[in-house]
Chain A
């Protein structure tokens, strides 16, 4: 399974993501620029913000209450399809997902 991140400089990077891994873990394991994830996926840092491609957004599932509140304090402006990528877990339905790493 794969995911593609569009970096702040416009470049696309595609990486393999194992099922069950969350997309912050996948990004930091591959060194995707702009995804930091300092709290290890517990929604405390808001440094794994991505904007999900609208075509894929519905498939990423519902935004939880805490995630919703932390999305209000991310560094780059929140967009309608913004998520904390630590809260998106890789499944077959998300194979090929496209994400934008917003410019800080």
Chain B
């Protein structure tokens, strides 16, 4: 049996994107969970940070939003208050403010509303797979994993199909802003701070701002008030309307977060099929229809961490976290925690229960798009399994250069069709 084996020496620098280019440094996370579950890292790019690596600790802290706030930034980088205000979305707010925005879009992303997309998703999967699988050998990230969430995004925010490749390219430049394959402005190698008021500190944010404004204007011109974007602009029960900069940031969040997470979940799942050939027959049997999406998403953990900031001093595991300290919840580590999962380095599509943390479980910022992600993943793998007899690697896969987004950016595979 092939179990994917990490290669780091157990002491990887978590602050460095380069520590993640061969996949997440799982030996390091295993050591930290065992020996140093609340560990401090210095960082050359700013203030150091605490890492929480155990499954149970992440769950315990994640619900304590009064102690560990999202409202001072959610990534490792330090922000001034001015930058925070310019770049924030509801991801960077705490309850109850967070709920004011969340309830506006909760319906659009609810399980029942999302379920209505199933036929549409299946049709898109069939189209994408029929086009791609015939090639025999192809890059599964580029030709399958990237395509489905991108096209669904277009349906959800109401953009014409021809705009989608441009939008996704900009979304990638935002969120994969530390990988030179995706942006010319590699965040930790930049010598300018001229984009620091832009989402993700990226010039792509400015272009997306213009696009969002045009899109809403075009919709208004034809009297179209449907869709998620109009929901978010509608006044709340107290009459307040989201300020323009926050709306534009929300738009960037949808384009970026709504895309790459599902993409890298699909890619990780396809890589698992290559690694563990028995998975294909399990999917084909229909026995894992209800459980496989969550296991694939656990395996992928596209959001490797989110950061919080301590609002007061507290002690944990013999350490003292000070007010203002950054605390990172490493979901990738929680999802490989031996005390929460049997054989965590093994993909078990029937895993039940599956208390993975990929969606930020246990806290108010639970992924808004989780029902859509689960549905897209399930349907894609059902349709893929229907069509192939085998799948194997056709070269080495490559991970994104990022300690924030975990993803296989290139995944050459060869399939034999049924």
B-binding residues in A (CB < 8 A): 38-46, 65-66, 69-70, 72-75
Whether the pair B363, A39 counts as a contact (CB closer than 8 A) is yes
Chain A residue, CB-CB nearest to B60: A40
Whether the pair A44, B111 counts as a contact (CB closer than 8 A) is no
Residues from chain A with Cβ under 8 Å of B65 in the complex? 42
For window 218-248 of B, CB contacts with A under 8 Å fall at: 237
Assembly CA distance A75 to B110 (angstroms): 8
Contact with A along B166-184 (1 / 0, CB 8 A): 0000000000000000000
Q: How far is the CB of A52 from chain B (nearest CB, A)?
A: 21
**Contact for A65 among B62, B237, B362, CB less than 8 A:** B237
Whether the pair A44, B364 counts as a contact (CB closer than 8 A) is yes
Chain A residue, CB-CB nearest to B106: A73
B59 beta carbon closer than 8 Å to chain A: yes
Whether the pair A44, B361 counts as a contact (CB closer than 8 A) is no
Can you list 21 A-B pairs with a CB-CB distance of less than 8 A?
Answer: A38-B370, A39-B361, A39-B362, A39-B364, A40-B59, A40-B364, A41-B63, A42-B366, A43-B99, A44-B363, A44-B364, A45-B366, A70-B103, A70-B106, A72-B107, A73-B106, A73-B107, A73-B113, A75-B110, A75-B111, A75-B112
Contact with A along B117-129 (1 / 0, CB 8 A): 0000000000000
Contact with A along B139-171 (1 / 0, CB 8 A): 000000000000000000000000000000000
Residues from chain A with Cβ under 8 Å of B111 in the complex? 75
B102 beta carbon closer than 8 Å to chain A: yes
Assembly CA distance A70 to B109 (angstroms): 12
- Give 12 new A-B contacts, CB below 8 A, not counting A39-B364, A66-B96: A38-B366, A39-B361, A39-B363, A40-B59, A42-B63, A44-B102, A44-B366, A65-B237, A69-B103, A73-B113, A74-B110, A75-B111
Residues from chain A with Cβ under 8 Å of B138 in the complex? none
Whether the pair A66, B63 counts as a contact (CB closer than 8 A) is no
Assembly CA distance A65 to B63 (angstroms): 20
Residues from chain B with Cβ under 8 Å of A69 in the complex? 103, 106
Q: How far is the CB of B355 from chain A (nearest CB, A)?
A: 9
Assembly CA distance A84 to B102 (angstroms): 16
Residues from chain B with Cβ under 8 Å of A70 in the complex? 103, 106
Whether the pair B363, A42 counts as a contact (CB closer than 8 A) is yes
Chain A residue, CB-CB nearest to B103: A69
B54 beta carbon closer than 8 Å to chain A: no
Assembly CA distance A50 to B155 (angstroms): 33
For window 335-363 of B, CB contacts with A under 8 Å fall at: 359, 361-363
Residues from chain A with Cβ under 8 Å of B112 in the complex? 73, 75
Assembly CA distance A46 to B237 (angstroms): 20
Assembly CA distance A41 to B366 (angstroms): 11
B326 beta carbon closer than 8 Å to chain A: no
For window 84-140 of B, CB contacts with A under 8 Å fall at: 95-96, 99, 102-103, 106-107, 110-113
Residues from chain B with Cβ under 8 Å of A44 in the complex? 99, 102, 363-366
Q: How far is the CB of A31 from chain B (nearest CB, A)?
A: 8
Residues from chain B with Cβ under 8 Å of A41 in the complex? 63
Q: How far is the CB of A28 from chain B (nearest CB, A)?
A: 10
**Contact for A40 among B63, B99, B103, CB less than 8 A:** B63
Max chain A Cβ within 10 angstroms of own Cβ: one of B106, B362, B370: B106
